[in-house]
Every structure is written in C-alpha cells, then in structure tokens.
C-alpha cells in the first residue's frame, strides 16, 4: 500500500458478503487497565488497533523512564491515572498533536487525590512528569470526593473511576454541568463491575467503594465505531447492497451502537442475527436531526453519508470534535467542500449539512492524521473514484480496513 495516498474505485454491482471488524479498542483499553489493576484475568479478542497494542506495550514496560502514548487519547489519559495510583515515576509524552490536547482537568483531579504530577513543557498539556503518590488525610469511612466537569472528554472521568477501587476510601465523582459521552462512562462502569468493583451510578454522582478488583475473564465485542463505515457503504452502494458484520451484540456497552437508529433514517436496516448483524439498503429519509453528544465518533461518517444522499442533516453535540486527533469540524468543512457539500455552523452550536450538487470525480481527501477522516470518506468511492491521503492512519483503530475493502470488491491502487 502506498503510504502517501490510496486511490479507490468500486468494481460495480451491489455490495455484498461479510466484512470482518476489529474488536472494540474502547473496551480493550479499559479492560487492559482494569486487568493490570486486578493483577490477572484473561482477555479474549483484544483489538489489533495500534492504540491497544501500544497500551499493552506500555503497561508491560514497568521500568521505562519515558513512556510515549503517541497519538492515543485513551492511552494518555488512562495511563496518567494508572501510573499515578501505582506510584510510578516516569515521563509520559506523545506526538506533537497530543501535546496540544488539554489534560489539566484530569491532572488537577489526580493532584487532589494525591498524585505528584508536573507539566514537563506547557502548563495544562502533555508531556507529564509523574513523581509518585502521596494521598492526603481522609476521614475514616468517607469517600475521596471530586467535582469534575461533565462536558469535557469522558476519558478523564473513566480514568478516575477505574482507579477508584485502589484508593484507601474509594471515590465519589460529582459530574458538573452537561455530561457528554455518557455511554462510555457506562461502559467503564460495566467493565469495572465485571471485575468485581462496587460501583453506584446516582446520575450526576458516581461512587466507587474501596474493594480490590477480582481476576476475571472477558471477551471483547467487535467495534461499533468501525461498523459505522460499513453502514455508510450499504447506504451509498448500488441498489440491493447488503453486508454481514460478525461479532456485534444487540445489547452492547458501546455508545456507537447508536448508528443503528441513525442509519435507519439514512437508508440502512439492521437485522440482528446469530453472531452479529445483517445490513440491507432501504430508502433514506429526506431530513435528520441528531444529537451526537453521546456518540461523537459517528459524526464524520454520518455527515458524509447525508451530504452524498442530499439528506438535510442538523447536528448538535459536536463540542468535543475540536479536540480530537484533529479539529474534526474544520477538517469536515474543508473536505466536504471539495465534493460540493457544506457543514455550516448555525446558532446554539447547531451544524447543518447541505449539498447542492454533490459529486465524486477523483478528489483527493486529506486525513489530517485522523483515522476517522480516512474511513468516513472512503465509502464515497462507491459513487466515483477518489484518493485518500496518508491511508496508514487507519492503523489507529482498524488496521485491516483497506484489505477488507478489497475483499468486498473495491479496486485499490
């Protein structure tokens, strides 16, 4: 595969067959942290995504003085809390983009609990110098208590919750204001409880009692975020397109299962079968309004599909997109424009996708070091040839993406 660019064409006829998905990296990375804190337990079907392989390597490297989280948000945030509570002394760093992604909310909270953390370069941003753990006095029987904004990355909240059982008196987290990505917090809760944590969800108050994790086995579900790209392909494919995706559960802990309901409006029906889902093409609705607060990673995929179909889409809950691997709102605005579509910001943080004369005729899509930009735009090759720049970015979450497209009938060169 050309590391600089990849040209995609569709071979013709309806899309059909079975596509293999990666395991969920969100589940995988949480399970790895909890397994490390539990001390044992077997994890099946771990993700082969770079973020998960990176997490495994760094957790196994108990003596390193410098740990590089690269561009992986969960690795940076979860490891910050893990290294702090396990009293590690180390420098935790990342890519140039990671050094621009704020982490002060998490660091301030960990400092309150007793973490000794300094900023090695810029205040409020990685890299971080972790210098041990010195918890202050807490009254007997009283949970350590934090107040944390709910409208920032849920990864901060999950990082804190996962170390809760390791604290002498446990932890109470008060969520302040609007809470984003709530399903990811519920996923963290479910995995913690699977490994024996005593967790209470009281809405805006989350409580974790002091009780050591217990060793347990767990099988990771396939990734609903990755499934969203196949939903897009069925929606944009020739009449009669369908695909089967194994390894997905009808009762999932992943918030991105929301793609089922969203794509029902954008032309894809979902049937849960014995070991996954079968997707079939149906007529799309002319308009859709959706709040992406709980599923921000679906926003790019849905925006591209709506633009290509001419669906009038109104999007809310996109606040966190500006601090992802790239500014995803700006990236979407730039790349959609080259196809004749627009992502317009309106009042009250509403965004509207419109397209007057959408066309796919050989455009080059910049990916901005963002795996989801590459995979969100790739399905447009069903409507005409296009080129994806820096295609290797997909290794972050779906390393086999391009080979699965080839198996499905895409011509890749």
Please indicate if the annotation marks 40 as binding a ligand. no
pLDDT over 80 (residue 274): yes
What is the C-alpha to C-alpha distance for residues 114 and 405, in angstroms, rounded to an integer? 48
Assign domain 5-22+222-412 to its CATH superfamily: Enolpyruvate transferase domain (3.65.10.10)
* 3 state SS of 59: helix
Please indicate if the annotation marks 151 as binding a ligand. no
pLDDT in tens, 369-405: 999 999 999 999 999 999 999 999 999 999 999 999 9
Please indicate if the annotation marks 140 as binding a ligand. no
25-219 is classed CATH 3.65.10.10: yes
What is the C-alpha to C-alpha distance for residues 157 and 21, in angstroms, rounded to an integer? 27
Q: Give me the count of residues in the chain.
A: 413
The CB density around residue 408, as the number of other CB atoms within 10 Å, is 18
DSSP category for residue 171: E
Parts of the chain belonging to CATH 3.65.10.10: 5-22+222-412, 25-219
* 3 state SS of 127: coil
Closest CA to 42 of 220, 249, 253, 164: 220
Catalytic residue among 223, 297, 370, 390: 297
Catalytic residue flag (residue 51): no
Helix (H) or strand (E) holding 401: helix 401-408
Average pLDDT over residues 252-269: 96
Please indicate if the annotation marks 153 as binding a ligand. yes
Please indicate if the annotation marks 324 as binding a ligand. yes
Please state, for a pLDDT cut of 70, what percent of the chain lies above it: 98
- pLDDT band of residue 2 (cuts 50, 70, 90) is low
pLDDT over 70 (residue 138): no
Closest CA to 27 of 216, 159, 222, 198: 222
What local confidence, expressed as pLDDT, does residue 227 receive?
98
Q: Are 28 and 43 in contact (CB under 8 A)?
A: yes
Average pLDDT over residues 124-151: 87
Average pLDDT over residues 229-235: 98
Closest CA to 100 of 119, 117, 136, 124: 124
pLDDT over 80 (residue 60): yes
- What is the pairing mode between strands 144-149 and 199-201? unpaired
**pTM of the shown model:** 0.88
pLDDT in tens, 320-365: 888 777 899 999 999 999 999 999 999 888 999 999 899 999 999 9
- What is the pairing mode between strands 66-68 and 115-119? unpaired
């Amino acid at each position: 595969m050309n590391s600089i660019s990849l040209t995609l064409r569709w071979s013709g006829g309806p899309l059909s067959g079975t596509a293999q998905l990666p395991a969920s990296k969100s589940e995988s990375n949480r399970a790895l942290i909890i397994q490390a804190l539990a001390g044992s337990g077997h994890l099946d079907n771990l993700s082969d995504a770079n973020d998960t392989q990176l997490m495994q390597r760094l957790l196994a490297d108990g003596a390193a003085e410098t740990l590089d989280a690269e561009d992986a948000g969960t690795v940076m945030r979860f490891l910050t809390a893990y290294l702090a509570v396990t009293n590690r002394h180390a420098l935790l760093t990342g890519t140039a983009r990671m050094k621009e992604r704020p982490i002060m909310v998490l660091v301030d909270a960990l400092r309150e609990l007793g973490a000794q953390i300094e900023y090695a370069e810029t205040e409020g941003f990685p890299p971080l110098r972790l210098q041990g753990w010195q918890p202050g006095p807490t009254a007997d029987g009283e949970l350590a208590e934090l107040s944390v904004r709910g409208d920032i990355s849920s990864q901060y909240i999950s990082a804190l919750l996962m170390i809760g059982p390791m604290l002498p008196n446990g932890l109470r987290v008060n969520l302040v204001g609007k809470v984003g990505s709530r399903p990811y917090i519920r996923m963290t809760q479910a995995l913690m409880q699977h490994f024996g944590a005593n967790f209470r969800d009281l809405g805006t108050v989350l409580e974790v009692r002091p009780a050591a994790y217990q060793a347990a086995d767990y099988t990771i579900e396939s990734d609903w975020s990755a499934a969203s790209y196949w939903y897009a392909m069925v929606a944009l494919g020739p009449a009669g397109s369908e695909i089967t995706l194994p390894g997905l559960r009808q009762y999932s802990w992943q918030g991105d299962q929301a793609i089922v309901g969203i794509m029902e409006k954008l032309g894809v029906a979902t049937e849960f079968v014995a070991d996954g889902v079968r997707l079939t093409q149906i007529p799309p609705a002319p308009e859709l309004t959706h709040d992406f607060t709980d599923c921000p990673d679906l926003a790019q995929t849905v925006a591209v599909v709506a633009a290509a179909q001419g669906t009038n889409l109104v999007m809310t809950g996109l606040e966190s997109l500006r601090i992802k691997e790239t500014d995803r709102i700006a990236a979407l605005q730039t790349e959609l424009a080259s196809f004749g579509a627009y992502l317009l910001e309106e009042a009250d943080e509403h965004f509207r996708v419109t397209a007057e004369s959408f066309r796919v005729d050989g455009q080059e899509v910049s990916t901005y070091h963002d795996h989801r930009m590459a995979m969100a735009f790739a399905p447009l090759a069903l409507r005409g040839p296009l080129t994806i720049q820096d295609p290797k970015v997909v290794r972050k979450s779906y390393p086999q993406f391009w080979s699965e497209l080839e198996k499905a009938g895409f011509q890749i060169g």
